[in-house]
Amino acid sequence: MRNTIYRQMVYWINNNRTWIEVADAYVYKEHILTRNGRTTCLVGRTLVLRAFREHDGYAVGQTWDIPDHELDRALAAYRKSDYSFKCRIKKGGSYLTAKDAETIIRLATHDVIHLELIEQPTHKYY
């Protein structure tokens, strides 16, 4: 995942959170992958999310580690399924919305985590 998209996703999760927050976006962890019957170890960037409120049976303080390769897989699947997202993300990471971040996290965690982000208005009219 490109760094600009990753940082924009972290921004949306931190600023529009309702029950879950980014505990660490700068950690690198070792993950074990199985491909074609072979097991390999991979060290990669990992997004760590933490529940700061009880929600849907999740206790306060529970954490989830989402490896970067899962985020990549989810991003590719979302690109294939939503043409408007594909067009926007080609322009750059700043075109990522809070809804997009929710969908990517939901796909990366296999429907375990639903962020339920609150989209705040970006412009105020007086």
d(CA 10, CA 70): 15
Residue pLDDT, tens place only, 64-110: 999 999 999 999 999 999 999 999 999 988 899 999 999 999 999 99
Written as six digits, the tokens of 95 are 């075109």
The per-residue pLDDT for 124 is 56
pTM as predicted:
0.88
Average pLDDT over residues 3-32: 94
Alpha-carbon span 22 to 63, nearest angstrom:
9
pLDDT at 10 over 60: yes
d(C-alpha 123, C-alpha 50), whole Å: 29
Angle (CA) 56-102-89 rounded to 5° is 175
What is the reported pLDDT for 123?
61
Give 42's contacts (C-beta < 8 A, 6+ positions apart).
Answer: 30, 31, 32, 33, 67, 69
Beta bridge partners of residue 103, listed in sequence order: none
Distances 11 to 19, 27, 58, 96 between C-alpha atoms, Å: 15, 16, 23, 10
Q: What is the pLDDT at residue 33?
A: 85
Residue 59 reports pLDDT greater than 60 = yes
Gap between the Cα atoms of 115 and 17, Å rounded: 7
